Amino acid sequence: MKRLDRLSLGGLACLLVLVLFALGSLAGAGGDPDAIVGPRLQPPGPGWWLGTDNLGRSMVPRVMEGVGTTLLLSSIAVLVTAAVSATFGIIAGYRGGYLNELVMRLVEVLYSFPAIVLAVLVAAVVGPGQVAALASIVLVTIPLMTRLVRAAAVAVSQRDYVTSAVISGARLPRVLGRHVLPNVAGTIAVQGTYALSVGIAVEGGLSFLGFGVQPPQASLGVLIQQGGTYMIAAPWLVLGPGVVLVAAILAINVVGDGLRDRLEPRETRSLT
């Protein structure tokens, strides 16, 4: 296996900084996000490094809170996605037959919807809020991860050690848990990083449209939506959370590429 390259390490460092920001918000390191610290719509300066919003609140603690909310919601959703996709993908890939067809048809139905349309439909059913954001991220990210885990499980199930375990009388749970799951864990980890970046984008888009996290709680999507009203007079209200949102997605994708190269190498080998 390869080591992570410099670009991947840079993405990992950026991601760790964002996590520290989120933890700092929980510890109150950035200050009270609801405290009025100065005049309204002030540009970035020594007293408020990212400016103030329309109520005179510093944007620094609000962006820190938004990072924490977005990362937490997306991470929880991706953990649920990984559990569901691993379960159904491994079973479908190993067992095949009608069960495989049923799982794949359901996945294709979900995959046929554009991500933001599916997210809005979910929010319309369950109502705006964090539950809508979580459910939307799960339903948007499950199809691709399930398909890839199923493909990996099909390949692993044809290996000699799996056949030997079946011949020796190992029961299905033991075969799946001990022989199949460990050998598709790399696929799950890599797709989990990509799902996390998609989850952050979905949460941002859904909250921007007013169907996700609801004020007064802050998320990156909420902050961008609120700042859009003052885009001309106070562009920093959008630039701050917008740059953080883009940085988070890019960092996670770069880390995902590094994990893919490390866990699922595709090296060209000489025939001589």
pLDDT for the residue numbered 213: 92
pTM for the model: 0.89
Domain residues of the chain, as ranges? 6-19+57-263
For the ranges 6-10, 86-90, 225-229, the lowest mean pLDDT is seen at 6-10
Q: Does residue 258 register a pLDDT over 90?
A: no
What mean pLDDT, rounded, does the chain reach?
89
For the ranges 42-46, 63-67, 190-194, 249-253, the lowest mean pLDDT is seen at 42-46
Residue 272 pLDDT class (50, 70, 90 cuts): very low
User: Quick one: fold of 6-19+57-263?
Assistant: MetI-like fold (1.10.3720)
What are the backbone dihedrals phi and psi of residue 171, each rounded to the nearest 5 degrees, phi first? -75, 165
- For residue 129, give both structure tokens: 């809020």
Q: How long, in residues, is the chain?
A: 272
Q: Does residue 4 register a pLDDT over 70?
A: no
Q: Does residue 269 register a pLDDT over 70?
A: no
In tens, the pLDDT along 31-57 reads 788 888 888 999 998 878 898 998 989
In tens, the pLDDT along 109-122 reads 998 998 889 999 99
pLDDT for the residue numbered 3: 63
